[in-house]
Amino acid sequence: MWTTENRPKYARDKLRYPSDVTDAEWEHIAPLIPPAKRGGRKRSVDLREIVNGLMYVLSTGCQWRYVPKDLPPRSTLFDYFDLWNWDGTLYRIHHALYVKCREAMGREASPTACVIDSQSVKSAEKGGLASIRTATTRGKRSRARSAISSSIR
Protein backbone atom coordinates (compact mmCIF):
# COMPACT_ATOMS: atom_id res chain seq x y z
CA MET A 1 0.00 0.00 0.00
CA TRP A 2 1.36 3.44 -0.90
CA THR A 3 1.20 5.22 2.41
CA THR A 4 3.35 8.08 3.67
CA GLU A 5 5.28 5.57 5.83
CA ASN A 6 5.95 3.12 2.96
CA ARG A 7 6.74 5.60 0.20
CA PRO A 8 10.32 6.45 1.37
CA LYS A 9 11.11 2.75 1.74
CA TYR A 10 10.48 2.13 -1.97
CA ALA A 11 11.76 5.45 -3.34
CA ARG A 12 14.47 5.01 -5.96
CA ASP A 13 15.06 8.72 -6.57
CA LYS A 14 18.55 8.74 -5.08
CA LEU A 15 19.81 5.98 -7.37
CA ARG A 16 21.59 6.71 -10.65
CA TYR A 17 18.94 4.73 -12.59
CA PRO A 18 15.66 3.39 -11.18
CA SER A 19 16.80 -0.10 -12.19
CA ASP A 20 19.97 0.00 -10.04
CA VAL A 21 20.02 -2.36 -7.08
CA THR A 22 19.91 -0.91 -3.59
CA ASP A 23 22.31 -1.92 -0.84
CA ALA A 24 19.70 -4.24 0.71
CA GLU A 25 19.00 -5.88 -2.66
CA TRP A 26 22.71 -6.30 -3.32
CA GLU A 27 23.23 -8.00 0.05
CA HIS A 28 20.59 -10.52 -0.99
CA ILE A 29 21.94 -11.04 -4.54
CA ALA A 30 25.72 -11.08 -3.92
CA PRO A 31 25.94 -14.58 -2.34
CA LEU A 32 24.11 -16.06 -5.35
CA ILE A 33 26.78 -14.95 -7.85
CA PRO A 34 29.37 -17.65 -8.51
CA PRO A 35 33.02 -16.90 -7.70
CA ALA A 36 35.58 -16.27 -10.43
CA LYS A 37 37.17 -19.29 -12.10
CA ARG A 38 40.38 -20.56 -10.56
CA GLY A 39 43.66 -20.09 -12.35
CA GLY A 40 42.77 -17.01 -14.36
CA ARG A 41 43.48 -13.39 -13.65
CA LYS A 42 41.38 -11.56 -11.13
CA ARG A 43 38.13 -9.92 -12.15
CA SER A 44 38.60 -6.33 -13.23
CA VAL A 45 34.89 -5.45 -13.19
CA ASP A 46 32.61 -4.64 -10.28
CA LEU A 47 29.92 -7.32 -10.16
CA ARG A 48 27.42 -4.88 -8.71
CA GLU A 49 27.87 -2.70 -11.81
CA ILE A 50 27.33 -5.79 -13.98
CA VAL A 51 24.07 -6.50 -12.16
CA ASN A 52 23.08 -2.82 -12.50
CA GLY A 53 23.80 -2.97 -16.24
CA LEU A 54 21.80 -6.17 -16.71
CA MET A 55 18.92 -4.77 -14.69
CA TYR A 56 18.98 -1.64 -16.88
CA VAL A 57 18.81 -3.68 -20.10
CA LEU A 58 16.13 -6.02 -18.76
CA SER A 59 13.95 -3.30 -17.24
CA THR A 60 14.13 -0.83 -20.14
CA GLY A 61 14.27 -3.32 -22.98
CA CYS A 62 16.97 -1.30 -24.71
CA GLN A 63 19.27 -2.82 -27.29
CA TRP A 64 22.76 -3.82 -26.20
CA ARG A 65 24.35 -1.09 -28.30
CA TYR A 66 22.35 1.59 -26.45
CA VAL A 67 23.65 0.76 -22.98
CA PRO A 68 24.72 4.05 -21.31
CA LYS A 69 28.45 4.80 -21.21
CA ASP A 70 28.59 4.97 -17.40
CA LEU A 71 27.72 1.26 -17.17
CA PRO A 72 30.21 -1.51 -18.08
CA PRO A 73 30.82 -2.12 -21.81
CA ARG A 74 28.04 -3.90 -23.66
CA SER A 75 30.31 -6.81 -24.59
CA THR A 76 31.11 -7.41 -20.91
CA LEU A 77 27.45 -7.14 -19.96
CA PHE A 78 26.40 -9.57 -22.69
CA ASP A 79 29.15 -12.06 -21.76
CA TYR A 80 27.96 -12.12 -18.14
CA PHE A 81 24.32 -12.30 -19.25
CA ASP A 82 25.12 -15.25 -21.50
CA LEU A 83 27.20 -17.04 -18.84
CA TRP A 84 24.71 -16.48 -16.02
CA ASN A 85 21.82 -17.53 -18.24
CA TRP A 86 23.68 -20.74 -19.16
CA ASP A 87 24.76 -21.71 -15.63
CA GLY A 88 21.41 -20.80 -13.99
CA THR A 89 22.61 -17.80 -11.97
CA LEU A 90 19.89 -15.53 -13.40
CA TYR A 91 17.26 -18.12 -12.48
CA ARG A 92 18.61 -18.43 -8.92
CA ILE A 93 18.63 -14.64 -8.48
CA HIS A 94 15.08 -14.37 -9.84
CA HIS A 95 13.82 -17.20 -7.65
CA ALA A 96 15.44 -15.81 -4.49
CA LEU A 97 13.96 -12.35 -5.08
CA TYR A 98 10.58 -13.88 -5.95
CA VAL A 99 10.48 -15.85 -2.70
CA LYS A 100 11.58 -12.81 -0.68
CA CYS A 101 8.83 -10.65 -2.24
CA ARG A 102 6.16 -13.26 -1.52
CA GLU A 103 7.29 -13.64 2.07
CA ALA A 104 7.40 -9.85 2.53
CA MET A 105 3.73 -9.74 1.48
CA GLY A 106 2.87 -12.42 4.04
CA ARG A 107 2.32 -15.18 1.49
CA GLU A 108 3.80 -18.64 1.21
CA ALA A 109 7.00 -18.92 -0.83
CA SER A 110 5.32 -21.03 -3.52
CA PRO A 111 1.84 -20.20 -4.81
CA THR A 112 -0.96 -22.65 -4.10
CA ALA A 113 -3.33 -21.52 -6.84
CA CYS A 114 -3.06 -20.64 -10.49
CA VAL A 115 -5.08 -18.72 -13.05
CA ILE A 116 -6.03 -20.28 -16.36
CA ASP A 117 -7.41 -18.00 -19.02
CA SER A 118 -9.91 -19.07 -21.65
CA GLN A 119 -7.30 -19.02 -24.45
CA SER A 120 -5.13 -21.58 -22.64
CA VAL A 121 -8.10 -23.86 -22.13
CA LYS A 122 -9.12 -23.63 -25.80
CA SER A 123 -5.65 -24.57 -27.04
CA ALA A 124 -5.41 -27.45 -24.58
CA GLU A 125 -8.78 -28.83 -25.72
CA LYS A 126 -7.64 -28.90 -29.33
CA GLY A 127 -4.53 -30.89 -28.60
CA GLY A 128 -2.02 -28.45 -27.09
CA LEU A 129 1.43 -28.68 -28.62
CA ALA A 130 0.42 -31.23 -31.25
CA SER A 131 -2.01 -28.76 -32.80
CA ILE A 132 0.58 -26.02 -33.33
CA ARG A 133 1.57 -25.65 -36.97
CA THR A 134 5.29 -25.96 -37.48
CA ALA A 135 5.36 -23.75 -40.56
CA THR A 136 3.16 -20.81 -41.46
CA THR A 137 3.94 -20.61 -45.18
CA ARG A 138 4.37 -23.24 -47.78
CA GLY A 139 7.71 -23.63 -49.49
CA LYS A 140 7.96 -22.16 -52.99
CA ARG A 141 8.30 -24.54 -55.86
CA SER A 142 10.50 -23.89 -58.79
CA ARG A 143 8.59 -22.59 -61.82
CA ALA A 144 10.61 -24.87 -64.06
CA ARG A 145 9.11 -27.93 -62.37
CA SER A 146 5.60 -26.50 -62.38
CA ALA A 147 3.10 -27.58 -65.00
CA ILE A 148 1.84 -24.00 -65.16
CA SER A 149 4.93 -22.47 -66.68
CA SER A 150 5.52 -22.82 -70.36
CA SER A 151 8.70 -22.53 -72.30
CA ILE A 152 8.88 -21.02 -75.79
CA ARG A 153 11.60 -22.23 -78.11
21 and 51 Cβ atoms separated by less than 8 Å: yes
pLDDT number for residue 100: 85
104-124, pLDDT tens digit by residue? Answer: 878 877 777 777 777 766 655
Residues of the chain below pLDDT 70: 1-2, 120-153
User: Residue 27 has what pLDDT?
Assistant: 93
118 Cβ contact list (under 8 Å, min separation 6): none
- What span, in angstroms and rounded, lies between the C-alpha atoms of 10 and 58? 20
What type of residue sits at position 119? Q
Residues in the chain, overall count: 153
Q: How far apart are CA 83 and CA 86, in angstroms?
A: 5
Q: Given this model, what pLDDT does residue 11 score? A: 75
Q: What is the pLDDT of residue 42?
A: 86
pLDDT of residue 152: 58
